[in-house]
């Protein structure tokens, strides 16, 4: 079953271009007679197409060296094997498939990103079944997929035999996506997961399948349907792609530096605001606070628990350690480092109020750090900014 899929070759052309990311395929899931997941007021196919087109627009505008290939730009049905064929024929360096989730219950919420692999939970399997069920709308799916039955648990055993040559790269992109959703858009982080998706199984490059949220959850459906929500999600996917590209190509922030001021090789995405969107769901899990300090800092204020509350401006994220005296941070005060999600993150300042940190953030952006945003800590633990603002209020 599906034995021909195991013969996919990692061609010499792809090997020669492993360190160059200049072609990306953006796949808006479902389409045409396949509406995908249904909310009370929406259809998955419409929402993901809007997000996909916005994502591609951001990439084309800000990364002009990258060619964007779409599997669809209108409301039409594209078979799963044809989506993979488009990516393979275009010799793409990355495949991004965008979807919305659904659940029989209205409670589940949040975003998650999948890479190709064997499911490790029943929930992951059910998500894969839901997305793979699109092949049932194809006229000759039994021949196109060698008898694969997307509704059969046993059919997914075949993925045990699959060795994903691009698992590490795919996981890297997936981590960037979830980091952006959690830290910059304020979405609930459901994590990076593995499952057997046919569309990823057939592609010959790193790939991710992004579930942007649950249409079965009324609050998330409203967010996913909104122009603001789609803009934030698309810009987050763009930034994740940008960071992945820079990481693979061995760049620091994708930008040269001069005298401490970042010289923008590409203009920043223009979104309504740079701070994370106010959360409509649970706060992210607390993360370790700054571990190192390059200079003296202000005295933060204590919270009711006795732990100090401080506000900093995050200026950079990197897969590798960067010296705090690097020219990259020239002109910044109180540069500190903390580690989370496999990445090193760098902040500047140590303010006692959100307002002070916001003013500092504007100053830092004027120095060329266009993606700077405010973060908060309780003691050494990273916490939600809104929670920190409440804790920092003086007692009545």
Q: What would the mean pLDDT of 243-263 be, rounded to a whole number? A: 59
Query: For the chain, which domains are there?
Result: 3-248 (3.40.630.40), 257-392 (no CATH)
Residue 149: predicted pLDDT: 54
Max mean pLDDT among 82-91, 149-158, 163-172 falls in 82-91
- CA separation (Å) from 45 to 27, 72, 160, 269, 359? 11, 11, 30, 25, 41
Residue 290 has pLDDT above 50, yes or no: no
- CA separation (Å) from 94 to 242, 294, 391? 12, 38, 43
Q: What would the mean pLDDT of 131-137 be, rounded to a whole number? A: 53
Q: What is the pTM of this model?
A: 0.59
Residue 322: predicted pLDDT: 87
The H or E element containing residue 313 is: strand 308-318
Calpha distance 236→58 (Å, rounded): 10
- The average confidence (pLDDT) of the chain is 75
Residue 118: predicted pLDDT: 61
Cβ neighbours around 7 below 10 Å, total = 6
Q: Which runs of consecutive H residues, i.e. helices, occur in 63-192?
A: 80-89, 122-132, 141-144, 167-183
Residue 151: predicted pLDDT: 54
Q: Which two tokens stand for residue 342?
A: 């496999």
More confident residue, 139 or 44: 44
Cβ neighbours around 297 below 10 Å, total = 16
Residue 24: predicted pLDDT: 97
Q: What would the mean pLDDT of 359-379 be, rounded to a whole number? A: 85
Who's near 42: CB < 8 A, 6+ residues apart?
Answer: 215, 221, 224, 225
Residues of the chain with pLDDT > 90, as a percent, come to 36
First to last CA, the chain: 69
Is 41:113 a contact under the CB 8 Å cutoff? no
- Angle ∠(372,188,210) on CA atoms, nearest 5: 90
More confident residue, 382 or 150: 382
User: Phi-psi region for residue 366, left (φ > 0), alpha (ψ -120 to 50) or beta?
Assistant: alpha
Residue 100: predicted pLDDT: 95
């Amino acid at each position: 079953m599906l034995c021909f899929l195991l013969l996919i070759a990692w061609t010499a052309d792809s090997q020669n271009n492993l360190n160059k990311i200049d072609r990306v395929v953006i796949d808006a899931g479902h389409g045409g007679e396949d509406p995908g997941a249904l909310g009370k007021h929406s259809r998955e196919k419409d929402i993901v197409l809007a997000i996909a087109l916005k994502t591609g627009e951001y990439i084309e505008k800000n990364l002009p060296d990258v060619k964007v290939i779409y599997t669809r730009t209108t409301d039409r049905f594209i078979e799963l094997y044809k989506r993979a064929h488009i990516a393979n024929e275009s010799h793409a360096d990355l495949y991004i498939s965008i979807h919305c989730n659904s659940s029989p219950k209205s409670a589940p919420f949040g975003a998650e990103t999948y890479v190709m692999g064997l499911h490790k939970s029943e929930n992951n399997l059910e998500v894969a079944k839901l997305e793979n069920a699109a092949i049932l709308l194809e006229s000759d799916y039994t021949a196109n997929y060698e008898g694969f039955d997307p509704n059969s648990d046993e059919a997914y055993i075949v993925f045990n035999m699959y060795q994903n040559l691009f698992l590490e790269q795919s996981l890297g992109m997936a981590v960037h996506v979830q980091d952006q959703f959690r830290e910059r858009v304020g979405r609930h982080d459901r994590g990076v997961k593995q499952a057997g998706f046919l569309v990823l199984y057939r592609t010959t490059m790193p790939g991710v399948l992004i579930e942007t949220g649950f249409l079965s959850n009324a609050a998330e459906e409203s967010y996913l349907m909104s122009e603001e929500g789609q803009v934030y999600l698309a810009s987050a996917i763009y930034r994740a792609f940008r960071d992945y590209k820079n990481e693979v190509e061995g760049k620091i922030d994708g930008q040269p530096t001069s005298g401490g001021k970042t010289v923008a090789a590409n203009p920043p995405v223009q979104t309504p605001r740079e701070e994370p969107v106010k959360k409509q769901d649970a706060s992210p899990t607390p993360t370790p606070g700054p571990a190192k300090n390059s200079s003296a800092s202000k005295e933060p204020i204590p919270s009711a628990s006795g732990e100090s509350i401080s506000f900093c401006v995050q200026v950079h994220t990197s897969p590798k350690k960067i010296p705090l005296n690097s020219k990259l941070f020239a002109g910044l005060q109180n540069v500190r480092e903390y580690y989370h999600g496999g990445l090193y993150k760098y902040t500047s300042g140590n303010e006692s109020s959100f307002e002070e940190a916001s003013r500092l953030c504007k100053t830092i952006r004027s120095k060329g750090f266009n993606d700077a945003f405010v973060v908060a800590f309780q003691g050494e633990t990273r916490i939600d900014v809104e929670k920190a603002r409440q804790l920092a209020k003086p007692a009545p």
